[in-house]
Structure 1
């Protein structure tokens, strides 16, 4: 019975949230709450008659249900075999759904053991969780321990390290790190983050130069490379267009 009710409760919550956001009539709330199965069906039919909209809603519902199911399975796995590998997988899943305090606690627990205390990969995972949790001082403390690690040099965690310098009033140090990450034909995530940093700190000429470089590199990519970087190149194009519009508006 619990397995039957859980998706229905999630669907009910989604419908109520949508009704609230879109200021639906009061009778929809009563219908969804009092007869959730029929009420949700009528509400969805009324508001999501378009097939694409229904598919998007179904995809969102599946993601919620599947992520919860996966976390439950990983939690059971940790209870059954309490080791670093299982706890790391669970912590990663917690980060993915925004349960950052729980993820941080698990990563720290993994690093407390004698064999994994200095593990760079775990430290970088903890860094990124701290960054998402806006614990910038903690990010900086871990980053200083990793500065000599080769795997840290071009990692995603180093983006968090650079931003944490900026958000703690050390923008000059952040700029040095971002500049070091700015390597042609690679590090596209890092360089897009650098673009955002340059815009945020008002370095217009450097920003324009970097955007031109990135757009030139995208045009020079092979079809296979473009497919591989499709999402990122789309973000770079969108950023370039926004920057161009801002410049033309001045």
Structure 2
């Protein structure tokens, strides 16, 4: 085996791995594998011409984040969506797109993005994305699903703010006894004063409604 053949085998292997990471359309795999060695070279050229360079993706994500922060959700979502056509599993783009879609009232699409993000990185932004997912589920009339999500979150990371969120959605589903139990768990585990104060406030509100 001469060095040219070896090089083409390596390029083909890289092309298959890269195509899998980018989740390109099926015809590309046929071209890469069955079109050896030309197929891999064609794919390489396509990536360089149309695929996002690493630095370009980072810059575009930062730009989208900036646009989102100033409240132009429609424009930011277009940028996030463009990134996702190139990198479907990019956690930052999935999160940004989900937030923007939720702000725009496009809840089914937002939930799809959040679901994909949870499959890729369920702990994204230190669980902040999971909390936002729960809120979007609630807004979409799926409070029971929000409760299920937060039960899993509390099981994995039993932080006071996670318990408070669970208690809130339990109240929304009518399970006040379950909410009270969760709030008492917050008070039984001394933490930041703000969480303790919030738990006491929520308990007081529950008792006042009975």
Matched residue count: 154
**SS of the residue 2:155 aligns to:** coil
- Alignment counterpart, residue 131 of structure 1, candidates 99, 102, 126: 102
Give a deviation string over 1:102-151, Cα, whole Å, max 9, x none: 221221122222xx2321232123222322333210122223334433x2
1:101 aligns with 2:74: yes
- Alignment counterpart, residue 166 of structure 2, candidates 191, 194, 219: 194
Alpha-carbon spacing, 1:242–1:134, altered in 2? closer, same or farther (3 Å): same
Alpha-carbon spacing, 1:126–1:182, altered in 2? closer, same or farther (3 Å): same
**SS of the residue 1:134 aligns to:** coil
Q: Distance in 2 between matches of 1:237 and 1:132?
A: 29
Given the two structures, how large is their TM-score scaled by the length of structure 2?
0.61
Give a deviation string over 1:213-249, Cα, whole Å, max 9, x none: 11222x2x4xxxx4xxxxxx51552353243144145
Q: Distance in 2 between matches of 1:98 and 1:162?
A: 22
The structure with higher relative contact order (CA 8 Å, sep 6+) is 2
| Structure 1 residues 80-229: aligned runs within 5 Å | 83-113=56-86, 116-149=87-120, 151-153=121-123, 155-183=127-155, 186-217=158-189, 219=190, 221=191, 226=192
Alpha-carbon spacing, 1:163–1:85, altered in 2? closer, same or farther (3 Å): same
Unaligned runs of 5+ in 2: 1-54
Unaligned runs of 5+ in 1: 1-81, 227-232
Given the two structures, how large is their TM-score scaled by the length of structure 1?
0.52
